[in-house]
Amino acid sequence: MAKTVQEILAFCQENGVRMIDFKTVDLQGRWHHITIPAERFCEDTLRHGIGFDGSNFGYASVEKSDMVFVPDPDSACLDPFTAVPTLSMTGDVQVIDLPENRRFDQYARSVTQRAEEYMRESGIADKMVVGPEFEFYVFDRASFETAPNHASFQVDTAQAEWNTGDPAGKGYQMGRHDGYHAALPQDITFDLRNEICLRMADWGVAVKYHHHEVGGPGQLEVEVEPESLTEMADKTMVAKYLIKNCAARAGKTATFMPKPIYGEAGSGMHVHIWLWKDGEPLFYNPNGYSSLSDTALYFIGGLLKHAASLCAITNPSTNSFKRLVPGFEAPVTIGYATANRSSIIRIPAYAKTPAQKRFELRNPDATCNPYYAYAAILMAGLDGIQNRIDPHASGWGPYDFNLFQLSEEDKKRIQALPKSLGEALDALEQDHAYLTAGGVFPEQLIQNWIKLKRAEDEEMARIPSPAEFKRYYTL
């Protein structure tokens, strides 16, 4: 949109904007915001930023917590959900220094920016492009409680199979696993998805398509056009914000939890990946496996070599590993293949032209911090290219068969993904040099992340669940 203070203020005047809202992302990947009257926006805002307490975002200890947020005017867009006309911006975080403040190297957006710089410095490519698929559930209601003497959750939607007996129902409920590309009248969220996609377009997030996903009780998907690393991380935050708020405005609730319903399809965030240099795609070779270049195959090799440790960043919740189980088109093993949705790396068979040629990483989910996740994916791939890691020679495929139906012999031969957050964190502890290369992920950030997620994993493991009462109470 605009690049200068004058242009921002002119836009505010023309559109009746009274407030400017600044959005920052915390360590876990949640947006926070602070708002100023539009007339207070000035050159000093861009130069010196707005002070905040970094300890509340998980980035700093309380005794060294002063930081400043510096908005990026290019991210400015009207927020469609505010009663008072409000302009929204994201931006960067700096730490206090003399004579000038400096970029905070642990801030999520700083990591993606440094990853892109490192890629260009390597000479391998000048642009990485990623295209995520956003899967999520929309419910009519959601409630949950964890207390010392009580634990429960409940979700509900009129379209769910469990409501077929509702006397007030219309008989158009969806069966379990029966939602893929369902049409009206069963697809009761069609208008909501249209609204979401129009709001995305208004905010500069181009949509490829949307549809109902496999999960009968309201699982949806919106796939967006690919963008470069930092830009897509910004737009991932925007997309989640718009989806949640559009659902709330429609009297519903949206969740990106990977596995909100036992026995139903889980929600992932598959990431399509391209590399470009000097305006040319780097992943196409008509004579290579599935028309992939050596560069593409080495990138895949890096992803597969580091797949276990990557999971600690791309699948950073205990709920993530309730999705990564056999039978639900979510990967459970480490390997690659063409058109195989049971594989962690799927090469789309329909992508035939040089510009289209790509592959898809299928394990990530939207509980990740997208800045860290996209940067980690790039760093794993660059490591694969730099070290010429051949995925076939390394024994990772191609596996052109159903990886959910392995023989006992194949199960011993084919490496499995981590089965828990704890296992993924163990892998990250042992394997993160590829992330710290070039100073992209500071070592302190890795250690802070492991400490945070260890505590989270241990806490969740200690809480009795209703399912445990059912299984063990009478023993």
Alpha-carbon Rg of the chain, whole angstroms?
23
Tell which residue, 156, 362, 366, 153, has the closest CA to residue 256: 366
The answer to whether 369 and 453 have CB atoms below 8 angstroms apart is no
The answer to whether 339 and 413 have CB atoms below 8 angstroms apart is no
Opening angle at CA 355, ends 350 and 361, nearest 5: 60
Which amino acid appears at position 467 of this protein?
Answer: A
How far, in Å, CA of 269 to CA of 272, rounded?
10
> In 10 A of CB 103, how many CB atoms?
16
CB proximity list for 408: less than 8 A, separation 6 or greater: none
Sheet holding 102-103, edge to edge: 50-53, 66-71, 91-95, 102-103
DSSP per-residue string spanning 379-441:
HHHHHHHHTT--TTTTT-----S-TTS--HHHHHHSPBPPSSHHHHHHHHHHS-HHHHGGGSS
How far, in Å, CA of 300 to CA of 180, rounded?
29
How far, in Å, CA of 279 to CA of 419, rounded?
40
How far, in Å, CA of 325 to CA of 419, rounded?
8
Which amino acid appears at position 43 of this protein?
Answer: E
Six token digits for residue 325: 């189980």
Q: Which residues are catalytic?
A: 53, 133, 135, 213, 221, 270, 341, 360, 362
Six token digits for residue 106: 């642990």
What backbone phi and psi angles, to 5 degrees, belong to 430? -85, -20
CB proximity list for 123: less than 8 A, separation 6 or greater: none
How far, in Å, CA of 238 to CA of 122, rounded?
30
